[in-house]
């Protein structure tokens, strides 16, 4: 399936010069959404995944159904202050500032094989931070899966050495 035809591109959003890839059109079509998750499942099914982690919020709409399709658990990685139990945090740089991501301290058991899943690989900062949190808990990163990869931003460079799977590249 050509998933690109189901992703709306909005020029100059959220600022001039940005070509925003809007996945809400893909998510809103049940058949296409299911096909995208199934395609990702096929691409990662042999990775011996114990659990999938996804960053807030769009990582949830990719990671959770992918975990369900694989029959494994899903661990949300959230913004600071959003998790109810003891957690660890990591700061990371955004285009215009800094942010903090957190994961429950007992979410990953040492030695578990973890796949990181998100909607988009851009600069790689968010995913590198997720990987850092998983590694702090003793998890083994087996790969990262995305609906979209923006190749010119070289997010792969920030997470070099990671097996990266993406359905669509721009």
Catalogue the active-site residues: 58, 95
51-55 and 113-121 beta bridge pairing = parallel
Q: Do 44 and 165 touch, CB atoms closer than 8 A?
A: yes
CA atoms of 3 and 25, how far apart (whole Å): 10
CA atoms of 51 and 140, how far apart (whole Å): 10
Start-to-end CA distance of the chain, whole Å, equals 16
Nearest-10 Cα torsion for 33, 35, 38, 40: -80
Q: Which helix or strand (DSSP H or E) is residue 52 part of?
A: strand 51-55
CA atoms of 83 and 103, how far apart (whole Å): 7
CA atoms of 138 and 158, how far apart (whole Å): 20
């Amino acid at each position: 399936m050509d998933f690109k035809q189901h992703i709306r591109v909005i020029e100059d959003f959220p600022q001039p010069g940005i070509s925003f890839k809007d996945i809400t059109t893909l998510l809103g079509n049940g058949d296409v959404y299911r096909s995208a998750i199934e395609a990702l499942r096929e691409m990662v099914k042999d990775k011996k995944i114990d659990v999938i982690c996804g960053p807030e919020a769009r990582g949830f709409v990719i990671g959770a159904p992918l975990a369900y399709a694989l029959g494994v658990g899903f661990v949300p990685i959230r913004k600071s202050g959003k998790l109810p139990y003891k957690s660890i945090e990591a700061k990371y740089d955004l285009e215009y500032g800094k942010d903090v991501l957190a994961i429950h301290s007992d979410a990953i058991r040492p030695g578990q094989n973890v796949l990181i899943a998100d909607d988009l690989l851009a600069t790689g900062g968010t995913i590198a931070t997720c990987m850092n949190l998983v590694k702090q808990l003793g998890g083994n990163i087996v790969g990262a899966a995305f609906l979209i990869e923006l190749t010119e931003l070289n997010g792969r460079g920030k997470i070099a050495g990671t097996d990266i799977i993406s359905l669509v590249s721009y």
